[in-house]
């Protein structure tokens, strides 16, 4: 970086950081504040002489300061400061200014957390935090920089709070708790760090400290603001009261991710975005599409990618394990027993309430696979922010409030060929693309058939693939996934169980 404004202004010259004299610094800071834009001389005069009438030589002085910046501070990088009549501008790339690097690394860390890469997020956030050396653009008048400083201060809070979350995710508990204690001391009226600290102490088995911390926060809010704890802090308190003294093991029962998953880039980006918003809402994503289009495979793949944003657990619930949809009462009973609830209530409403109470204050990801109706899944939904729900639906219509519908379409030809992946002639690949219609389940079945019978000529393989298509195709353009195994056995007697597993949807 050539310019550092997150503290006293410095420039990087000949591999060393140099401070800038006060008046040239005010000029340079103003140009950096408006990087790449033309700044007229009147604005520069106000920045350099904010508290007194500028001298008659102000414009001449500005020219002198510009010359000094060009000549003394940036000799190895060209003029950088461009001039036109009555105005100047500074030409610098974003990665040459520490404040832009700060913003960029913060954004990259958000993405890393959403994709489940907490270790990368820790590195990015620690690097961003280290850039901060003091008040940004401190050489300029308060009335000029107040909005910018307020925005950057808020972003700095986000960096430190998200860093605490990331440290907990990589089990650096001591550092996370120390950071959160610093934050509560720096601004005791912010409830976010208090709530995070209570939950962090609970997760590390320090329940009594968590309860004492909540009492400290409640007392500060009452004494200073005359208010009770807000929702996030109150939920953290309920979590501390409900938690057993011993740290509970985080539940993660996602199925194996598909190693050669292909496509769905836009859908993955949307789910990543929703995972970030789950801290303040409960996004419910409903995946639909024709049978065989890969709804379950995508849901599982996406869940693995964003798992790091949900440190309290990632649950996969098969809503029809034997082909027949289970009722909400049975599903809730299974979920509550897995959560350690001993006394299961009798009614669906009571079980749903107990399940919502278990989820309150937790950051969890729920994948509900194979929804048959709205009544089946509605009682399973969380009631408080913090969770994300991904539902794969057998029907295109689920009557749920505020859902995020997402329709998966068949893969385009290029991605179909990539997923097929077998070393085969162009004729075979074209036949696979034509016969499978871009349905991942059909493509995997074609791959299994190709590997099972390598002795077939391309013409024989095409004929068998046509038979496979005829057996498994549905009138709606989808695929009868349950018919795949039977069809493969008819077409190739020695298809192994491993190959049948390979084609599972």
Here the CATH number for the domain that contains residue 108 is 1.25.40.10
Name residues whose C-beta falls within 8 Å of residue 87's C-beta, 6 or more positions apart in sequence.
Answer: 38, 39, 40, 41
Does the pTM exceed 0.75?
no
Of 96, 130, 163, the one marking the end of a domain is 96
Same-domain status, 215 and 281? no
Of 407, 431, 455, the one marking the end of a domain is 407
Phi/psi of residue 278, each to 5°? -70, -15
At residue 370, the 3 state secondary structure works out as strand
CB atoms within 10 A of CB 344: 14
Q: Of 302, 315, 232, 309, whose CA–CA distance to 275 is shortest?
A: 309
Distance CA 501, CA 194 (A): 48
The domain spanning residue 339 has which CATH number? 3.40.50.300
Listed in sequence order, the DSSP H helices in 170-206 are 173-186, 191-203
Same-domain status, 366 and 417? no
Q: Of 200, 188, 120, 103, whose CA–CA distance to 154 is shortest?
A: 103
What pLDDT is attached to residue 153?
92
Q: Which letter, b or e, does each residue of 46-77 get, where b requires 16 or more Cβ atoms within 10 Å of its Cβ?
A: bbbeeeeebeeebeebbeebbebbbeebbeee
Distance CA 337, CA 344 (A): 8
What pLDDT is attached to residue 140?
86
Q: How many domains does the chain have?
A: 4
Q: Of 479, 468, 90, whose CA–CA distance to 291 is shortest?
A: 479
- Here the tokens at position 154 are 């808020």
At residue 260, the 3 state secondary structure works out as coil
Name residues whose C-beta falls within 8 Å of residue 429's C-beta, 6 or more positions apart in sequence.
Answer: 417, 420
159 to 166, 324, 379: CA distances (angstroms): 10, 47, 36
At residue 282, the 3 state secondary structure works out as coil
Same-domain status, 359 and 399? yes
Rg over alpha carbons for the chain, rounded to the nearest Å, is 30
Q: Is residue 324 within a helix (H) or strand (E), and if so which, with residue range? A: none
CB atoms within 10 A of CB 277: 13
Same-domain status, 363 and 288? yes
What pLDDT is attached to residue 73?
62
What pLDDT is attached to residue 100?
92
CB atoms within 10 A of CB 483: 16
Same-domain status, 150 and 215? yes
Count of positions (residues) in the chain: 505
Distance CA 165, CA 418 (A): 37
Give the position of tokens 């996602």: 254
Same-domain status, 209 and 122? yes
Of 242, 272, 287, the one marking the end of a domain is 242
- Here the tokens at position 323 are 């082909």
Domain that holds residue 37: 3-96
HSE-up of residue 406 (Cα within 13 Å, Cβ side): 25
Same-domain status, 285 and 393? yes
209 contacts 197 by C-beta, under 8 angstroms: no
CB atoms within 10 A of CB 250: 13
User: Checking DSSP bridges between strand 16-19 and strand 10-13, what pairing results, if any?
Assistant: antiparallel
**β-bridge mates for residue 286, sequence order:** 391, 405
Same-domain status, 88 and 103? no
Same-domain status, 381 and 298? yes
The domain spanning residue 10 has which CATH number? 1.10.10.10
182 to 135, 157, 160, 345: CA distances (angstroms): 18, 11, 10, 43
Q: Of 196, 199, 195, whose CA–CA distance to 231 is shortest?
A: 195
Give the position of tokens 């939950």: 199
Same-domain status, 369 and 418? no
CB atoms within 10 A of CB 461: 22
pLDDT of the chain, 505 residues: tens digit per residue: 578 889 888 887 666 777 777 888 888 888 988 888 899 898 888 888 887 888 888 898 889 888 888 776 655 555 588 888 989 998 888 888 899 999 999 999 988 887 777 888 999 999 999 999 998 988 888 888 888 899 999 999 999 999 998 888 877 888 999 999 999 999 999 988 999 999 888 887 788 888 999 999 999 999 888 888 888 888 888 888 875 544 456 788 888 887 778 888 888 888 888 888 776 777 888 888 877 788 888 999 999 988 888 888 899 999 888 778 899 999 998 888 887 776 778 888 888 888 887 887 788 899 998 888 888 888 998 887 888 899 988 666 677 776 788 888 888 888 877 787 666 667 677 777 777 777 787 777 777 777 766 766 677 677 766 666 665 555 555 555 555 545 545 544 444 443 344 344 3
Phi/psi of residue 284, each to 5°? -120, 105
Same-domain status, 438 and 399? no
Name residues whose C-beta falls within 8 Å of residue 424's C-beta, 6 or more positions apart in sequence.
Answer: 432, 450, 458
Distance CA 172, CA 175 (A): 6
Question: Euclidean distance between the first and final Cα of the chain, in Å?
Answer: 50
Q: Of 34, 6, 28, 8, whose CA–CA distance to 152 is shortest?
A: 6
What pLDDT is attached to residue 467?
66
What pLDDT is attached to residue 130?
92
Torsion over CA: 190, 195, 196, 198 (sign): positive
- Sheet with 16-19: strands ordered across: 3-4, 10-13, 16-19
Same-domain status, 203 and 316? no
- Here the tokens at position 210 are 């968590």
65 contacts 27 by C-beta, under 8 angstroms: yes
Distance CA 120, CA 272 (A): 16
Give the position of tokens 């657990």: 313
């Amino acid at each position: 970086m050539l310019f550092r404004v997150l503290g006293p202004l410095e420039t990087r010259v000949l591999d060393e950081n140099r401070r800038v004299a006060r008046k040239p610094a005010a000029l340079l800071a103003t140009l950096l504040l408006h990087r790449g834009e033309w700044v007229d001389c009147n604005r520069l005069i106000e920045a350099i002489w904010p508290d007194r009438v500028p001298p008659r030589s102000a414009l001449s002085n500005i020219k002198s300061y510009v010359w000094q910046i060009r000549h003394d501070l940036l000799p190895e990088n060209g003029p950088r400061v461009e001039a036109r009549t009555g105005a100047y501008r500074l030409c610098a790339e974003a990665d040459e200014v520490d404040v832009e690097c700060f913003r960029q690394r913060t954004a990259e860390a958000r993405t890393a957390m959403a994709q489940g890469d907490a270790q990368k997020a820790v590195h990015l956030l620690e690097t961003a935090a280290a850039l901060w050396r003091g008040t940004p653009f401190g050489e300029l008048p308060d009335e000029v920089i107040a909005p910018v400083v307020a925005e950057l201060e808020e972003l700095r809070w986000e960096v430190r709070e998200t860093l605490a979350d990331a440290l907990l995710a990589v089990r650096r508990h001591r550092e996370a708790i120390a950071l959160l204690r610093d934050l509560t001391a720096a601004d005791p009226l912010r409830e976010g760090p208090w709530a995070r600290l209570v939950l962090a102490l609970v997760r590390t088995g320090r329940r009594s400290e968590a309860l004492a911390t909540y009492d400290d926060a409640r007392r500060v809010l009452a004494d200073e603001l005359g208010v009770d704890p807000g929702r996030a802090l109150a939920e953290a308190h309920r979590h501390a009261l409900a938690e057993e003294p011993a740290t509970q093991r985080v539940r993660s029962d996602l199925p194996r991710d598909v190693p050669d998953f292909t496509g769905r880039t836009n859908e993955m980006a949307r789910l990543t975005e929703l995972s970030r918003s789950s801290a303040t809402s409960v996004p419910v994503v409903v995946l639909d599409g024709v049978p065989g289009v890969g709804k379950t495979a995508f849901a599982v793949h996406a869940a693995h990618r964003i798992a790091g944003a949900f440190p309290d657990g990632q649950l996969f619930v098969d809503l029809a394990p034997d082909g027949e949809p289970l009722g909400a009462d049975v599903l809730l009973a299974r979920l509550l027993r897995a959560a350690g609830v001993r006394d299961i209530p009798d009614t669906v409403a009571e079980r749903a309430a107990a399940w919502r109470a278990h989820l309150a204050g937790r950051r969890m990801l729920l994948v509900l696979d194979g929804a048959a109706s709205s009544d089946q899944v509605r009682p399973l939904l969380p009631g408080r922010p913090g969770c994300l729900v991904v539902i794969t639906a057998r029907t295109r219509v689920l009557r749920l409030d505020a859902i995020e519908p997402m329709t998966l379409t068949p893969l385009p030809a290029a991605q179909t060929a990539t997923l097929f992946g077998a070393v085969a002639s162009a004729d075979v690949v074209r036949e696979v693309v034509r016969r499978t219609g871009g349905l991942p389940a059909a493509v995997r079945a074609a791959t299994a058939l190709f590997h099972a019978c390598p002795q077939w000529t391309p013409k024989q393989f095409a004929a068998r693939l046509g038979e496979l298509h005829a057996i498994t195709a549905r009138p709606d353009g989808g695929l009868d996934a349950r018919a795949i195994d039977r069809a493969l056995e008819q077409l190739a007697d020695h298809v192994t169980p491993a190959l049948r597993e390979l084609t599972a949807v």
